[in-house]
Every structure is written in C-alpha cells, then in structure tokens.
Amino acid sequence: MTERPLPLAMDIVERSDTNMVLSMGPQHPSTHGVLQVIVEIDGETVVKADPEIGYLHTGIEKSAENLFWTQASTVVERMDYLSPLSNAMAYILGVEKLLGVADQIPQRAQQLRVMLCELSRIASHCVWLGTGGIDLGAISGFFYCFDLRERILDLNEFSGGARMHPNYLRIGGLRDDIPAGFLEKVDELIAMYYPRMRELRALLQKNPILQDRMIDVGILGADDAIAWGVTGPALRAAGVAYDVRKAFPYSGYEQLDFEIPTRTEGDAYARFLVRLDEMDQSMRIIEQLRANLAGGPVMVADTKYAPPPKETIAVSMEALIHHFKYVSESFRVPPGDVYSPVEGPRGETGYYLVSNGDNRPWRVRTRPASLYNLQVLKKIAVGEFIADMVVMIGSLDPVFGEVDR
Amino acid sequence: MPSSQTPPAGSTAVDPTAVRPPIDDARIVRTTPDALRAELLALKNDGFAMLLDVGGVDYLERTPRFDVVYHLLRGMTAPQPERVRVLCGVDGPEPVLPTVSDLWPSANWAEREVYDLFGIRFSGHPDLRRIQLPDDWVGYPLRKDYPLRGPALERTPRPSFALKSNVAAGTPVFGKTAAALQRQIVAARAAEAPKDGEK
C-alpha cells in the first residue's frame, strides 16, 4: 500500500500577515506532560489552537492483546497513571461480564474496590489541584496536596504492595484481603482530610489571584460539552449532571449516599469547584464504606477464575493443578463483546472488550476520557489570551498516559 | 470439577460479536458503510447527543475484515439513560467510511486515531492525519498482521513475547527467519574466504 505524503501540523495552520504561529510544548512545564499546542495568535489573542498529541504513545492496546486476560490488567493500569485503579476497575468489570461471574463477586471485594477507587480519585484530584496551582503561581498548595496524596499512596502500598500501580484489583475480586491495621489507617486519613481541605480551600479557592485567572476563562457550554464528548468534572461544570456512578450504577454505588456536584458557569473556576466538591463526596463514600464494610471472602469461589487459596495448594492435587493452569495459561473467556464504563476522575473511562474464546483478549479498546476532554481545547481556546492557555489545559486535567496510550 | 482449560462452546470464534447475545446494557445496531451515515443521523435526531467513542476492531479472517464501533449516549440526566452501540463492518484493501465529524465534533480525533492505527480512511474528514504515530510511519499497528514489536524489530529474538501477532505476520516465534539465517551464514563464509586465500 502506498502512503501519500502527509502535511506536518505546522503547515496546517493557515497563516496571515498579522498573525503569528507559536508552538507551545511539548517540553513545557505547564502542559502536564508531553502536549504540543500549535497556536496561531493575533497579538495576545488565540485565533486557532491545534493540540498535537502522541508523544507518549506506547501501544498499550496492542500489548494488552498479546497478554493473558489476567496479565492485561497490569498494562491497562499504566494508561491513566494518576488513578490506575479506575482503569483496572473498568477493565475487570468488563471481563467479569464476559465470564458471567459479575453477580458472584463477594460484597466485601466490591466495597473495597469502590473504597480504593474513591481514594485514588482523591489522590488524582490532589495532583490536579497541586499542579494546577503551580501553573498559576501558587506554589504552597502543591506541598499540601502532595502530602495528602502521599498518604493515599501509602495506603495503596500497604494494601497492594506498590504505590502507583498496585494491580490489587483482580478478575474475580481482590488479590488478598486488606492487611490488619488498614482500616485504622483509613480512619486516620478521614480524620486528617477535612482540616486539610479547609486549609486548601482557604489557600486556593478563596485566593483572589487564582479567581481572577480562572473566572470566565475557557467557557464551555452544556451543548458544546455534549457534542464534543466531554465527560467528568468538565461536563458537570457546564451544568449536565451526568455521572456513570449514578446513571449506570456498578459495584454497589446505588446503595451509597452521595451527590453529584454541578455548576452552571462552565468556566475554569467552575471546573475547579466541581473537582473540590467531588473530593468531599468521595470522602463521604469512603466513610460510609468504612462504617459498613462487610466480612467474608474477597475472591469468587470458582477456582477457574481465581487462584486457589495458598494453604490448599500444599495439600490438594486439584488446587495445585488449578493454580498452575491459572498462572501458566490463564483461563479462556467465552466469545463476545462488552462495553464496560466506570466514572474515573477525568470522566467516563470505558473498555470495549472483544473475546474470541481464547485466553488472550482479541481487542482491548479504551474510551479515554482525557482524549475527548483535551480535544475541546480547540474550541474553548479561541478568543482567549495566550497566557490563559495554561489555565485551560490545567482545568481540563488531561493525563497523557491516557490520551496517547 | 471440569478442567479450567475446557474450551467453551464456539471457541475461538471468527466473529465473536455474532455468537453471543448482548450482555451489557447497550442496544446494538449493525450497519453497512453505505447506510452508516443515515443510521447515525437518525440516531442523532432521536436524541443521542453524545458520541462517546469511535474504535476499531480487526477480525483478520472475517469478511468484512474490520468493525468500526460507535458508542452513543442519550438522556444523560434522565432517570434511565440509554446507550447504543453501532457496529459497522468495512472491508477491502483500502477501507473507507463516511465521516461523522460534522455531526459530532468529538469524532474528529477518534476517527483520526482509527485511521492512524487501522488504516481505515474517513471520506470527508477535515483533517485526516496520523494522530498518535509520527507522520512518516509506515503500516497500521493495531492490525492483526502487524507484528507486536514492529517490522524493524520482528527478527530480534524474544521468545516470550513472540506471540500471535507475529504468527499472523509470518514470523517464526523464535525470532530469525530461515532466510535471514541463510544470509548470515553466507556473509560469515564470505568474510572467512580471503583469510584462507592468504594462507
């Protein structure tokens, strides 16, 4: 097949005599990763913005197709590296639907999954809040945010063994039960969270300089947000109360009491406030789960899909065989396709999974929330000042592991 | 207890989407490239205001070979929101579909990505360039006949990763092709030859 020569992005921008074309990034501290935005400016006003992505493309979808179903959850966690658990959650829920074991997941496992996902939502928003503040010159907030995030990553390490990519969520449940003392550490976190958020709100939300930079910047209306496929806090800041946790409840979210914060202004400050309120709602969910955590197993009983308990391997021939097969060949998944969405920190994270009956996925397609949220920059940047680009990129909160995959 | 490796019915199906009734809450619509735009336009007029995602799947042995999958959503704030999944089969050495980026702006980058990774063109797209890979990249990586590590590295021995993609691409799992080995032997003999002559 012959490839026609393709124009470079710089050539696509139509230049005129008065306008200037500027390449922002990919090595720019405020683009939150490797994003290049080719902006055409008239004076200081943006006339056209064309984000160029792909600098972090690692072929995760292709890698996942060549791994076992059980192994692929490790690589999908690497996409959205600020909240790896929500990606693993969407993938695992999809595989469980394909296997037909979705209704057999023990309640304790579901509750712990939701608790860990909400913790990672708070951790992800902490990074956004800290780095978003730095973009606007507020350095101090960064340290308080990252302190809070470190405590959540410590919990990840305590339960799953790794700070960022624990691979603790498994098909069929969790790898292990939480260690003794975990819930006490969650209590400590709950106790320190609210005073810390009060400090952060005093430091950042009420800061007049930040308000001046964010209010009425990057306005995104509800109709535009829907047409551009924007989900998550950016959509809710435009007044559309769509949240997968309420619209298509999964893993017991229907039994939890929480609200969906919305604003109607649709500017960067509204997105800022929605995310802050979301952190409080996540903490509400964690408190409820902490109070009502069920007992019992954390893995499905069927040893086809779960490794048998370690203590049975030494005494049972069958358990040993199952364990060997589980590790060396994984399991076969009945043919079919499924779309499995969850509400990640950035919006609807969905997995379209296709199985052809083999022990490896035929196709793992991610619906990356960040990709669609970032695309709308083309729309909202027009007519704004070039200096406000960093505010708009920060308020959309893209993660380039997920945009580029 | 049955073995964990008992293959289920319909194992390794060529067209997995056809052998099983839908198991998630989305309505599934199948269509053809000719009817695609009319179908999606009707759905948009029916209230499906958000195009969540456009993705591709390569089924390799099936006719039509590719599926392009559109995920639509309506009634975001209604008590019972609704999803629909449109699967459009597309075939041929240079598969082409009509674009929907004028109906939903969100399709712009999504279609570019499907073009970039599967080589499916979208006629009428305003800016059909590669999006993830460099502009001068050759080949479409998510096609099943594209080796996992890329054509440049496919002969590097790495047994544990030389899996089904390489098999489909015709590369032996242990790395070097027989022809490459032969060339190496010939080169080694040629390098030795003048040394013998000097003696």
The full 3-state SS of A185-237, as one line of letters, equals HHHHHHHHHHHHHHHHHHHHHCCHHHHHHHCCCCCCCHHHHHHCCCCCHHHHC
Best residue of B15, B69, B132 to probe chain A, by most A CBs closer than 10 Å: B132
Range with the lowest mean pLDDT among A204-213, A343-352, B103-112?
A204-213
Residue B117 has pLDDT above 80, yes or no: yes
Interface check for B71 against chain A (CB to CB < 8 A): the answer is yes
Cβ A47 vs Cβ A141: under 8 Å = no
Residue A92 phi, psi (nearest 5): -70, -40
CA distance A49 to A339: 32
Mean pLDDT, residues A75-80 = 88
Mean pLDDT, residues A174-182 = 88
Residue A401 has pLDDT above 60, yes or no: yes
3-state secondary structure of B143: coil
Interface check for B81 against chain A (CB to CB < 8 A): the answer is yes
Interface check for A300 against chain B (CB to CB < 8 A): the answer is no
Contact A372 B81 (CB under 8 A): no
Q: Which pLDDT score, from 0 to 100, does residue A287 have?
A: 92
Q: Which pLDDT score, from 0 to 100, does residue B178 have?
A: 61
Best residue of B3, B14, B19, B23 to probe chain A, by most A CBs closer than 10 Å: B23
ipTM field: 0.86
Domains detected in chain B: 10-141 (3.30.460.80), 147-199 (no CATH)
Interface check for A242 against chain B (CB to CB < 8 A): the answer is yes
Q: Which pLDDT score, from 0 to 100, does residue A195 have?
A: 92
> Which residue in this structure is represented by tokens 């005073």?
A195
Split at pLDDT 50, 70, 90, the class of A141 is: confident
Q: Which pLDDT score, from 0 to 100, does residue A41 have?
A: 85
Measure Cα distances from A75 to A62, A84, A85, A185 in Å. Answer: 10, 10, 12, 28
Residue B11 has pLDDT above 80, yes or no: no
Q: What is the mean pLDDT of chain A?
A: 87
Q: Measure in Å the smallest separation between the Cα of A191 and chain B Cα atoms.
A: 34
Residue B14 has pLDDT above 80, yes or no: no
Interface check for A236 against chain B (CB to CB < 8 A): the answer is no
Residue A220 has pLDDT above 70, yes or no: yes
Q: Closest residue of A to B24, CA-based?
A: A338
Q: Measure in Å the smallest separation between the Cα of A244 and chain B Cα atoms.
A: 9
Interface check for B77 against chain A (CB to CB < 8 A): the answer is yes
> Which residue in this structure is represented by tokens 């029916």?
B46
Mean pLDDT, residues A321-346 = 87
Mean pLDDT, residues A77-83 = 87
* More confident of the two residues B156 and A337: A337
3-state secondary structure of A337: strand
Q: What is the mean pLDDT of chain B?
A: 77
Split at pLDDT 50, 70, 90, the class of A149 is: very high
Mean pLDDT, residues A63-75 = 89
Q: Which pLDDT score, from 0 to 100, does residue A39 have?
A: 87
Domains detected in chain A: 60-368 (1.10.645.10)
pLDDT per residue as tens digits for the range A36-58: 888 888 888 888 888 888 888 88
Q: Which pLDDT score, from 0 to 100, does residue B8 have?
A: 43
Q: Which pLDDT score, from 0 to 100, does residue B199 have?
A: 47
Q: Quote the DSSP letter at residue A56.
A: T
Contact B130 A241 (CB under 8 A): no
Q: Which pLDDT score, from 0 to 100, does residue B147 have?
A: 79
Range with the lowest mean pLDDT among A6-10, A231-235, A305-309?
A6-10
Among residues A62, A118, A98, which one has the least CA distance to residue A251?
Answer: A118
Contact B8 A332 (CB under 8 A): yes
Residue A15 has pLDDT above 80, yes or no: no
Cβ A32 vs Cβ A43: under 8 Å = no
pLDDT per residue as tens digits for the range A229-288: 999 999 999 988 898 988 888 888 988 999 999 988 888 999 999 999 999 999 999 999
CA distance A245 to A118: 11
Q: Name the residue facing B148 among A6, A62, A338 (closest C-beta).
A: A62
Q: Which pLDDT score, from 0 to 100, does residue A101 have?
A: 87
Q: Tell me which chain B residues have a C-beta less than 8 angstroms from the C-beta of A337.
A: 16-17, 20
Contact B16 A362 (CB under 8 A): yes
Mean pLDDT, residues B18-38 = 84
CA B9 from centre of chain: 25
Q: Which pLDDT score, from 0 to 100, does residue A14 have?
A: 56
Interface check for A3 against chain B (CB to CB < 8 A): the answer is yes
pLDDT per residue as tens digits for the range B141-194: 888 888 777 776 555 555 444 455 555 555 554 555 666 667 777 877 787 766
Split at pLDDT 50, 70, 90, the class of A120 is: very high
Q: Which pLDDT score, from 0 to 100, does residue B15 have?
A: 76
Q: Please state whether the peptide bond connecting residue A26 to the residue before it is cis, i.e. omega within 30 degrees of 0.
A: yes
Mean pLDDT, residues A137-160 = 89
Contact B12 A357 (CB under 8 A): yes
Q: Which pLDDT score, from 0 to 100, does residue A117 have?
A: 92
Cβ A47 vs Cβ A40: under 8 Å = yes
Q: What b/e string do you get for B29-40 counting C-beta neighbours within 10 Å, with b at 16 or more?
A: bebebeebbebb
Residues 6+ apart with CB under 8 A from A184: none
Q: Which pLDDT score, from 0 to 100, does residue A208 have?
A: 86
Interface check for B14 against chain A (CB to CB < 8 A): the answer is yes
Interface check for B13 against chain A (CB to CB < 8 A): the answer is yes
Best residue of A365, A370, A400 to probe chain B, by most B CBs closer than 10 Å: A365
Q: Which pLDDT score, from 0 to 100, does residue B177 have?
A: 60
Mean pLDDT, residues A135-156 = 88
Residues 6+ apart with CB under 8 A from A93: A102, A250, A251, A340, A342
Q: Which amino acid does the sequence have at B18?
A: A
Split at pLDDT 50, 70, 90, the class of A312 is: confident
> Which residue in this structure is represented by tokens 């109070």?
A291
Q: Closest residue of A to B4, CA-based?
A: A304
Contact B11 A332 (CB under 8 A): yes
CA distance A51 to A24: 9
Best residue of A260, A317, A362 to probe chain B, by most B CBs closer than 10 Å: A362
